[in-house]
Structure 1
Amino acid sequence: MPSSSNSNPREPSIDGECMDKADPEQDTRAQLARLHAENTALKARLREYEEHFGEPADTFDTKAFLTSRPAEIQWSPEGLLIDWSPEAEQLFGWKREEVLGRPLWEIVIPPGVALEQVRLGIQVTLTGQLASARSSNTTRDGQLIECQWTNTIARDEQGVPHAVLSRIELVEQDELDATLRHSQTFLIALLNNSPSVIFVKDTRGRYVMINQRFLDILGATHEEILGRTDSELFPPDVAAALQNVDTAALTAGEPVQYEEVIPTTEGLRDFFTLKFPVRAPSGKTLGICGITTDVSDRKRAEADRLALQEQIIEAQRDALRELSTPLMPIIDGVLAMPLVGAIDGIRAKEILETLLAGIVREHAHTAILDITGVKIVDTQVANALVGVARAARLLGAKVLLTGISPAVAQTLAALSLDLHDLVTLNTLQSGIAYALRLKREGASPVRRPR
Structure 2
Amino acid sequence: MSGALRRLHSNDNEYAPPGAAAETARLRAEVDALRRRVVELETAWTAALSPTPITPEDGGSFTGASELLDESRAILGAMLAHGPTVVFVKDVSGRYALINRHFSALFDATPTAVLGKTDYDLFPPEVAARIRKTDQDILVEGRAHEYEGTIPTPRGERTFSTLKVPVYDRRGDVLGLACFSSDITELRRAEAERDEMERLAGEAREATLRELEAPLMPIARGVLAIPLVGELGEARARHVEAVVLSGVTERQVEWVILDVTGLRTAGAAAICGLSRVARAARLLGASVVVTGMRAELARTLGAMDEGKPEFISLSTLESGIEYTLRRRRRK
Fold similarity call, TM over 0.5: yes
Given candidates 195, 202, 205, the residue that maps to 1:313 is 202
Q: Say yes or no: does 1:110 pair with 2:35.
A: yes
Residue 294 of structure 2 corresponds to residue 405 of structure 1: yes
Contact 2:162–2:181 (8 Å) recurs in 1: yes
Structure 1 residues 223 and 351: alpha-carbon distance in aligned structure 2, compared to 1, 3 A threshold: same
C-alpha distance in structure 1 between counterparts of 2:73 and 2:227, whole Å: 78
Question: Match of 1:376, SS?
Answer: strand
Give the Cα–Cα distance (whole angstroms) in 2 for the partners of residues 424 and 317 of structure 1: 31
Instruction: Map Cα deviations across residues 222-278 of structure 1 (whole Å, 9 max, x no partner).
Output: 233212222333233222221222233333433211112212112322222111122
Choose which of 97, 101, 118 in structure 2 pairs with 1:229: 118
Alpha-carbon separation, structure 2, partners of 1:253 and 1:381: 64
| Aligned residue identity for 1:216 | A
Residues 144, 382 of structure 1: CA spacing in aligned structure 2 closer, same or farther, 3 A cutoff?
A: same
Question: Structure 1 residues 357, 145: CA separation in 2 closer, same or farther (over 3 Å shift)?
Answer: same
- Separation (CA, whole Å) in 2 of partners of 1:419 and 1:195: 78
- 8 Å CA contact 1:258–1:272 kept in 2: the answer is yes
Secondary structure of the residue that 1:278 maps to in structure 2?
strand
Q: For 1:392 and 1:267, how far apart are their aligned partners in 2?
A: 58
CA distance in 1, matches of 2:154, 2:211: 50
Deviation at 1:429, TM superposition (A): 3.4
1:390 maps to amino acid: R
Residue among 301, 309, 316 paired with 2:190:
301
Question: Percent same amino acid among aligned pairs?
Answer: 38
State the alpha-carbon separation in 1 of the partners of residues 135 and 234 from structure 2.
53
Which of structures 1 and 2 has the larger relative contact order (alpha carbons within 8 angstroms, sep 6+)?
A: 2
Letter in 2 for 1:430: S
- 1:207 paired with 2:96, answer yes
- Given that 1:333 and 1:365 are in contact with CA atoms closer than 8 Å, whether structure 2 keeps it comes out as yes
2:236 counterpart letter in structure 1? R
- What is residue 54 of structure 2 aligned with on the other side? none
CA contact (8 A) 1:255 1:277 kept: yes
Q: What amino acid is aligned across from residue 350 of structure 1 in structure 2?
A: H
Show the 5 A alignment for 1:242-261.
242-261=131-150
Q: Which residue of 1 aligns with 2:42?
A: none
Unaligned stretches of 5+ residues in structure 2 = 1-18, 40-58
Q: Is the 8 A contact 2:213 2:229 kept in 1?
A: yes
**Deviation larger for 422-431 or 311-320:** 422-431
Deviations 1:13-51 (A, max 9, x none): xxxxxxxxxxxxxxxxxxxxxxxxxxxxxxxxxxxxxxx
**Unaligned 5+ runs, structure 1:** 1-79, 85-98, 115-140, 147-172, 443-450
Selected match of 2:272 from 338, 358, 383 = 383
User: CA–CA distance in 2 between the matches of 1:285 and 1:432?
Assistant: 87
- 1:358 matched to which residue of 2? 247
Q: 1:433 to 1:218 in 2, by over 3 A?
A: same
Amino acid at match of 2:33: V
SS of the aligned residue for 1:417 comes to coil
**1:103 alignment partner, SS class:** helix
- Selected match of 1:83 from 22, 27, 35: 22
Q: Per-residue deviation at 1:340?
A: 0.9
Distance change in 2, residues 1:194/1:103 (3 Å): closer
Q: Who is 1:333 aligned against?
A: 222
2:305 paired with 1:416 = yes
Q: Flag the structure with larger Rg.
A: 1
Taking only aligned residues, the RMSD between alpha carbons, in angstroms, comes to: 3.3
CA shift in 2, pair 1:144/1:223, >3 Å: closer
Q: Which amino acid aligns with 1:222?
A: P
User: Is contact 2:233-2:267 (8 Å) kept?
Assistant: no
| One-letter amino acid of the counterpart of residue 197, structure 1 | V
- Which whole-Å deviations, capped at 9, do the CAs of 1:56-111 have from their partners, x for residues lacking one? xxxxxxxxxxxxxxxxxxxxxxxx98439xxxxxxxxxxxxxx9488346643336
**One-letter code aligned to 1:336:** A
Q: 1:413 to 1:420 in 2, by over 3 A?
A: closer
Give the structure-2-normalised TM-score.
Answer: 0.76
Distance 1:418 1:300, change over 3 A: farther
Between Structure 1 and Structure 2, the one with more helix by share is 2
Q: TM-score, normalised by structure 1?
A: 0.57
